[in-house]
Structure formats: structure tokens, C-alpha cells
Structure 1
Amino acid sequence: MTDVHDRETRSRNMAAIRGRDTKPERLLRSVLHRAGYRFRLNTSLPGKPDLAMRKYRAAVFVHGCFWHKHDCPRFKQPGGDNAEFWRAKLARNAERDKEVTAALLASDWRQFVVWECALVGKGRLDLPTALDRIEEWLASGAETGEIAGEFD
């Protein structure tokens, strides 16, 4: 299947995709800050986490379901003319996620992933529920954790 946009339009669309300060990130920062949690942005930790909570030695990532190949309805493997490009790109993103997790754990930092579908879209959690799950993980001392949307 060919692309429905010409190259210039597709390029403009792809360039508009934000790398940080996305809606899910802003929602998460807001709910955590209102609950009294303090964090840093733009740290030099491996993988450049969206939030770094020094008190808990916790790196929090807000992963887009498409870009990180999440197994949810928000991810659809691209097909068409560039199918091989997208397969390789998304596979490398998933591989890099594993490398980042290993590097964080090796440097004695914990990692938590908040999937985009947990904060926006049809399967999203309400914000108090998302906050409760994050707080449970922070208190648990577990090295890694994640929350995702709930789909039937």
C-alpha cells in the first residue's frame, strides 16, 4: 500500500511529532507534582528519562505505544512501501529500551515505564489510579515496573 500523502506532507507530519513535553508527559508531571513528588527533567541518566526522582533513585519514562512497540491497540505495525524500514527502526527502539534498562540497573537506578495508553485514549486509567500504581511501585523497592491502559 502506498502512502496517502506526498513526500513533503509526510515529512512535515513526521517533523511535527514531539520528542518531549507530550500530552502524556505533561499529565504525568502534573499528577505527580500535585501529589508532592519532586523530580528533575532532562537529566544525563542513561536513556534520558522523562523524569528522574533522585530521592527514590527512580527513572520514569513515558513511552509512546507506537515508537516502543507496545502490545496494545494503539500500536499497529506499518505496512506498505516502507514496511522494512519501520520494522528495523521499531525493532532497534525496542532493543535500545533493553540496553537502557540494563544501564540504569547497573548504575543503581530503578526504572518505571508509563505507557502512553495508560494516560490517553480509550483504555486510559483515571489519574488517581495511575498515581496509586506509581506510588505502590515507588514504595515496593522493585527494580522495574510499568503501567499500561486497560483494554477488554
Structure 2
Amino acid sequence: SKNKRSWIMSRIRSGNTSPEKQVRSFLHRHGFRFRLHKKNMPGKPDIVLPRLKTAIFVHGCFWHQCPACRGGRLPKSNLSYWEGKLKRNQERDRENSEKLQKLGWKVITIWACGTGGSRLETDLLGQLSSIP
């Protein structure tokens, strides 16, 4: 029902999500120090590493349409709404990434499905180690 959907949507958090906390814990454990949700930066990155001039976005697979997992599937009901909404999210992600890069920032995107186990360590450390 409409009320049930509204209640469910009201419970979805935009920051301090479980995948985001996993990434922050990983970074802290490996000696990285960071800032959270910098409002004065395009896209308000989830994590900012000022010394490395790196912005990290931790994307939910559904909301940002992960190409690698089933979490990015579209709902069957109200398809036209969801297609437009999720496509706009992807466009905004791309725009924010381009703006940050033009300002000289490196942008790293981590998908929620990639925060479990050794994938996070392999992917994130690999990307961070390539920063001069």
C-alpha cells in the first residue's frame, strides 16, 4: 500500500550506512584519516581523504544501480517512476565525479556489494596505493 511504501522509504538512511561504516573502519585500521560528508564539495562525498585529495563515495547497489550485482534490479511496480529516479541518480553521480576531478580530486566509488570480505581490501588498497 502507499502508506506501507512511505513508511519503508522513511527508514532509508542517506549517511552512516553499514557499508559506509565498514569502509571507514577499514580506512582507520590502515592508518588513513578522513573527514565525513563534506557539504562544501560537489556531491557531498561520504569520505574525504584531504591529504590524498581523494573523495570516496559508498554507493548503495539499488539507489545507484550497481552494474555488477542483482541489487541494482528495478522494481516491477511503478516502473516509469523508478527508471527516471534511478537514471537521474546515475547522472548526478557522474556530474559530481566530473566536478571533483576538474577541481583536482581523485574520485573512488565503492559499491555496497563490494564492502564484504577481502574484496574491499583488494579494491580499495589498490586504488589508494596508486595515488601519488
Q: TM-score under structure 2 normalisation?
A: 0.92
1:17 aligns with 2:7: no
Aligned partner of 1:145 in structure 2 is none
Aligned partner of 2:111 in structure 1 is 115
When the two chains are superposed, the root-mean-square deviation of aligned CA atoms in Å is: 1.4
Aligned partner of 2:75 in structure 1 is 78
1:131 aligns with 2:127: no
- Tell whether the 8 Å contact from 2:65 to 2:71 is kept in structure 1 after alignment: no
- Tell whether the 8 Å contact from 1:46 to 1:104 is kept in structure 2 after alignment: yes
Aligned residues: 130
1:61 aligns with 2:57: yes
Aligned partner of 1:149 in structure 2 is none
The more displaced of 68-77 and 87-96 is 68-77
- Tell whether the 8 Å contact from 2:61 to 2:71 is kept in structure 1 after alignment: yes
List alignment gaps of at least 5 residues for structure 1: 1-5, 143-152
Aligned partner of 2:97 in structure 1 is 101
Q: Distance in 2 between matches of 1:90 and 1:132?
A: 28
- Letter of the structure 1 residue corresponding to residue 72 of structure 2: F
- Give runs of ≥4 in structure 1 deviating > 3 Å: none
1:3-14 aligned within 5 A: 6-14=1-9
Aligned partner of 1:140 in structure 2 is 130
Q: Deviations over 1:75-120 (max 9, x none)?
A: 111222x11010000010111111011101000001001101012x
List alignment gaps of at least 5 residues for structure 2: none
Q: Distance in 2 between matches of 1:42 and 1:90?
A: 21
Aligned partner of 1:42 in structure 2 is 37
Provide the identity percentage.
Answer: 38
Structure in which a larger fraction of residues adopt helix: 2
Q: Distance in 2 between matches of 1:134 and 1:115?
A: 11
Larger Rg: 1
- Tell whether the 8 Å contact from 1:65 to 1:115 is kept in structure 2 after alignment: yes
- Letter of the structure 2 residue corresponding to residue 9 of structure 1: K
Q: TM-score under structure 1 normalisation?
A: 0.80
Aligned partner of 1:147 in structure 2 is none
Q: What's the offset of the Cα at 1:133?
A: 2.5
Q: Distance in 2 between matches of 1:33 and 1:101?
A: 24
